Amino acid sequence: MLVALGVEAEGYQHVPGLREGSRENATVVKDLLTDIVSRGRDAQRRRLFVIDGSKALRRAIDEVFGTANPLPRCRNHKIRKVLDDLPKDRHDPIRCAMKAAFQRPADQGIAKWKKLSEWLMPEDPSAVESLREGLEERFTINRLELPSQWRRCLASTHIIEFPNAGIRPKTGRVTRGRDGPMVLRWTASSLVSLEKRRRRILGHQQLWILEAKLQDQNQQQNVARKIKTA
């Protein structure tokens, strides 16, 4: 199942849509996003999309919502992927170095990751390749200069874990699934019940800062477009 999770201006989480299928299927992802837009979401409004490394997700977001939206890639996924390519005795120092870089301004943090990749290159080229992939997008939150408490929820796909955990107990009681529509109904039913226990994200009081940053970027893009066409 493919589930889209959104965050309202007040900080509450909600599910604007879901689809049966894989996040690696570009058609399914695009259908999900198109359906969300058809039910009232403004495709022209700039948003922050938090994704993992799925190319299908990235392509579908660009096609439906445009290419100007900031897309921070999940840091936790990247750290795990890099460590998977390294011996266990190197996990702790490399993990600490990667996380320490996230505490710096974007340019400095990226420079630290590049330095780390140079250090790893002689012995672990696979880890280096993983480290460099999607590097710029790992520091999107830093580049936007957002409050540090958001780095847990908006710099990773951590917030999707709450609805995922709530789905499993209910769907786990199904011992005989007939077809895809049945799976969809059970998943949707679980998500509806979770709506009653909606949580606010950490740092929700400062979401206005993100809105202001996105609006400012949009204004800058409009000005640049006018200058280009003048």
- Predicted confidence at residue 220, as pLDDT, reads 64
Handedness of CA 181, 166, 39, 70 (dihedral sign): negative
What is the reported pLDDT for 14? 84
Q: What angle do CA 170, 172, 175 make, to 5 degrees?
A: 115
Ranges of residues in the chain whose predicted pLDDT is under 50? none
Give the pLDDT confidence score for residue 180 in this predicted structure. 67
The pLDDT value recorded for residue 215 is: 83
Sign of the CA dihedral running 210, 211, 215, 221:
positive
pLDDT of residue 6: 87
Phi, psi of 51 (to 5 degrees): -135, 170
